[in-house]
Amino acid sequence: MRVITGEARGKKLLTLEGDEVTRPTTDMVKESIFSIIQFDVPGATVLDLYAGSGQLGIEAISRGASHCVFVENNRDALSVVKENVLSCKFTDRARILNMDAAEYLKIAKKEVDIAFVDPPYRNGIIEKIMPQLEKIMSDRGIVVCEHEKELELPESYGSLVKKKTYKYGKISLTVYRKPETEE
């Protein structure tokens, strides 16, 4: 696993062994995610929920995001996130929290431009946290959900509207955006 492009391009990232704790996003899927949101990343405030290795937030910072909050409740995975952020020299643009994602969303104060949601599959987690997440998204908010391909997510969560679902083998990405308002 590596950083694809930007400031930390080519940097190898650590991950936990096995898929029981984390399920790293493949490079192909990561490239697709950033192809979809590439113009929204520069200057964005990012939230990497269920961070795992932190690779999505790190990729966003590498591509010009101003700051990323990494939320992970597994201590071993959290250590990996810390090591990866440190090795990429992004500590000044990262906040790493050891807590449950739903608990974080209850106390979050800062508006988020881009959120990555990649929880354990088949637990109904996305459906539970999206209403909370919608409340902290900025007016230009984008949420990228990675989930099992069998899961069909609703057309909207409050002001977040489903734009498209992309399928990659056994997984899907569903992208939600706040509608752009005309000024």
Q: What pLDDT score was predicted for residue 22?
A: 61
Q: Are 137 and 160 in contact (CB under 8 A)?
A: yes
Q: What pLDDT score was predicted for residue 72?
A: 96
E strands of the chain, at which residues?
45-49, 67-72, 94-98, 112-117, 137-148, 156-157, 160-168, 171-177
Structural domain spans, the chain: 43-177
| CATH superfamily placement of domain 43-177 | Vaccinia Virus protein VP39 (3.40.50.150)
Q: Are 64 and 97 in contact (CB under 8 A)?
A: no
Distance from C-alpha of 124 to C-alpha of 101, rounded to nearest angstrom: 13
Distance from C-alpha of 182 to C-alpha of 149, rounded to nearest angstrom: 34
Q: What pLDDT score was predicted for residue 23?
A: 66
Q: What is the pTM of this model?
A: 0.93
What are the 10-residue block averages of pLDDT along the chain, 183 residues in total? 91 78 75 95 97 96 98 94 97 97 93 95 91 95 95 95 94 92 49
* Ordered strands of the 45-49 beta sheet: 94-98, 67-72, 45-49, 112-117, 137-148, 171-177, 160-168, 156-157
Q: What pLDDT score was predicted for residue 121?
A: 86
